[in-house]
A and B are shown apart, each in its own frame.
Chain A
């Protein structure tokens, strides 16, 4: 609770228990009220992309508040990419024309890189993809640099208010109250209330979940260094392997598993190490798979292969159009059909794994880990049941480290703001159990007078639009919301002329005007 006098401008039991607040109720708690027509909660890439759209649609910075505990919208993404083995010169798994700093996706990252470096190689690469080359993808460092440029152009810092958001509640006369806890020493009161007609929630992944057997091991033996999650700092694993030969168990079949394998294999090659890698897939894919000829994904050696985290047409083609019409169980079924963990089939990775299999130091198989126990000499023993030939067999696998690359996500109710929306603001769950939103990303059941509450990003996975937790998905959401706000008279609809003139300003690096 900090050193501040408790109760001064803080939430009261009456506020906590009342789903719809009046101005008087907030004032009686001594919480100061700030007015802003539009508030976005989160301040990550989801907020940034929406604010970018609104600014381009002509909304002045004074009408927008970004409530966030981070200074730069890419900060969380930067942290996650770094620990999951994508340093800034490395390329991420994202399409050339998915640019969070440019609503048009033109020029694409490849075109920008070609222009900057005076070379046509990126363009030839894009031309040949995905047939003659792997998908061209941007360097993560370039993504951050271009976002910094756009943030300056739209006056992002002028819209940012620092603090931790506690909740969003409906207001009896329409709109919403968003409760912010500002950083200590910056405010007279413990909380500040933002009164807005519109609010937007983009708080990212609700949290990380560990594989149950690994969580059990960590809690039972208090060992957090030998069993690690790929999304937490685990540099010590690679450092250890440089000092002596060791065995690492890698679990998971997605992009993060690929990255971790690449790091292990790169290190092995670069430092001439003797690292052994045992890779356990819960679902081991042996070849092309799918229900029929028109829905078959490539696969092999355990992996399901796909260029990006969804089939490309979810962002604008057939799958997007199909999903938009589906509800309930039908929608859940289509998610299942196109879902499943997957990774891109990159030539470099294929080469490394082949070398590993031939050299006998990389082994991949299907298995379900029953439990993990401490072994001798500070090693770990995984008890694994495999079911490859129809008969289940149990084996024990010893290793120095286990890296969990499954990237399981926590339930949305584990996030405080989302939990409050579910319990007090009328929000519900979609067929996949996440936050239920409309086609225009308004959270179903949360309308308040002439106001609207929107959500984008990972929390809304399972909705009418599938690719929500991607750069392009955030832009699809931002576009839908901006168009909805235009319908409600908050901003103007971006037409061809406005779009083109704003693009010219972007190209010239001119700031977006205030009105």
Chain B
């Protein structure tokens, strides 16, 4: 992907809202968590994500091409997932009093992450043919 800052943020919010919600709806009963918890986690990925995107944008400036290879989009799951887990354990995520089990959290988080990543790397362009030329901006 070759995003601009606004495109990064818009794409993240849009894909989490649509793809992330759909995946969460399916995965939640499978991992034995409550919808209240998983959707709160999804919202936290979105909110924290705005901050993460600022950091990624900064790091991208050191790249001559000003691109963000697909692999980076996949691997950033690691720091983001770890930070959110730490916040959950400390009870720092609003509306979530008790963190889910690590297995449930990891399954949900990774399912959402991989689905969003897959859609962003191709299918997103099917309904939105201008999206890739606008640095990931939808509006």
Contacts and interface: CB of A to CB of B under 8 A. Distances in A.
Interface string A272-316: 000000000000000000100111111000000011000111011
Contacts of A319: 66
A218 interface: no
Interface in B120-135: 122-123, 125-130, 132-135
Interface in A72-94: none
B69 interface: yes
Contacts of B126: 104, 106, 499-500, 503
A183 interface: no
Residue among A130, A317, A479 facing the most chain B CB atoms (10 A cut-off)? A317
Interface string B1-42: 011100100000000000000000000000000000000000
Contact of A316 (B71, B123, B135): B135
- 10 closest A-B pairs (Cβ-Cβ)? A317-B2, A313-B66, A496-B127, A312-B67, A312-B65, A106-B122, A313-B2, A311-B65, A318-B66, A104-B125
Contact of A476 (B61, B69, B71, B133): B133
Given A127-B74, A129-B71, A494-B129, 15 more contacts: A107-B122, A108-B122, A127-B71, A313-B67, A316-B135, A317-B2, A318-B2, A319-B66, A476-B133, A479-B130, A479-B133, A483-B130, A499-B129, A500-B127, A503-B126
Interface string B107-139: 000000000000000110111111011111000
A312 B132 CA distance: 12
Nearest to A317: B2
A376 interface: no
Interface string A487-515: 00000001011011001000000000000
A111 interface: yes
A45 B88 CA distance: 54
A1 interface: no
Contacts of B71: 127-129, 131-132
A123 to B, nearest CB: 10
A285 B125 CA distance: 38
Nearest to A321: B4
Interface string A92-109: 000001000001111110
- Secondary structure type dominating chain B contacts: loop
B20 to A, nearest CB: 19
A126 interface: yes
Task: Report the contact-size class of chain B (Cβ under 8 Å from the partner).
Answer: 20 to 34
Given A104-B129, A476-B133, A317 B67 contact: yes
Contact of B125 (A106, A111, A307): A106
B4 A294 contact: no
A320 interface: yes
Interface of A: 97, 103-108, 111, 126-132, 290, 293-298, 306-307, 311-313, 315-321, 476, 479, 483, 494, 496-497, 499-500, 503
17 contacts: A97-B132, A104-B125, A105-B125, A127-B74, A130-B69, A294-B61, A295-B64, A297-B64, A306-B65, A311-B64, A312-B67, A317-B66, A318-B135, A479-B130, A479-B133, A497-B127, A499-B129
A313 B65 contact: yes
A316 B65 CA distance: 11
A321 B64 contact: no
Contacts of B128: 496, 499
Nearest to A506: B126
A307 B2 CA distance: 14
Nearest to B60: A318
Contact of B64 (A103, A108, A296, A320): A296
Contacts of B4: 317-318, 321
Nearest to B123: A106
Contacts of A295: 64
Contact of B133 (A108, A126, A315, A494): A315
A56 B129 CA distance: 12
B64 A298 contact: yes
B70 interface: yes
Interface in B70-109: 70-71, 74
A316 B64 CA distance: 15
Contacts of B2: 312-313, 315-318, 320
B41 to A, nearest CB: 26
A100 to B, nearest CB: 14
Given A294-B61, A479-B133, A499 B127 contact: yes
A130 B64 CA distance: 12
Contacts of B67: 311-313, 317
Contacts of A106: 122-123, 125-126
A315 B135 CA distance: 9
Given A293-B62, A317-B3, A127 B133 contact: no
A483 B3 CA distance: 22
Contacts of A316: 2, 132-136
Contacts of B61: 294
